[in-house]
Structure 1
């Protein structure tokens, strides 16, 4: 799976925000506010990846256990799916 649109992530007032760029901005004209882990997941989703790889990335880079990471990743990915932002 990966992000459906080409996003750029910038910091606005110290918080990461994702904005679709180029022709994708015509289809998704909005911003997505992220936290640091959300930005990390967004970065991983810029190329084709798996849910298991995202969970492994979180447990390797953040102080979180596997079950906590799995739950957070499932919730985050579901929000992206609900908004049509993933290609699977």
Structure 2
């Protein structure tokens, strides 16, 4: 899976912004916290949920189960707006 080309990711200091280019049904801007921003950054290249969780384990000191829940939640939300290509 990968970030849909109809969306642009942009670092804005403390936040990662996801902007629709108008090439998708979703029109707007998504502001994310650090965790969601990290996941979005991972999605800039073709990846899997398991690979994202593994990268998060290297960066964050958190239980694997919590990271898996966070990754699934963020990816599900991005899927709902059409931001992910499978």
TM-score (norm 1): 0.83
1:32 alignment counterpart: 30
Structure 1 counterpart SS, 2:58? helix
Question: For 1:4-83, what aligned pairs fall within 5 Å after superposition?
Answer: 4-5=4-5, 6-11=7-12, 14-20=14-20, 25-28=21-24, 29-83=27-81
- Report the alpha carbon displacement of residue 69 of structure 1 after superposing the two structures with TM: 0.4
- Helix, strand or coil: the match of 1:32? strand
**With structure 2 as the length reference, what TM-score do the two structures score?**
0.84
Q: What is residue 2 of structure 2 aligned with on the other side?
A: 2
Match of 1:7, SS state, is strand
* Deviations 1:19-47, CA, capped at 9 Å, x for gaps: 24xxxx12244211011111111111001
Structure 1 residue 8: deviation in Å? 2.9
Aligned residue pairs, count: 83
Distance 2:71 2:49 in 1: 7
Aligned-CA RMSD value: 1.6
Unmatched runs of 5 consecutive residues or more in structure 1: none
Distance 1:42 1:78 in 2: 12
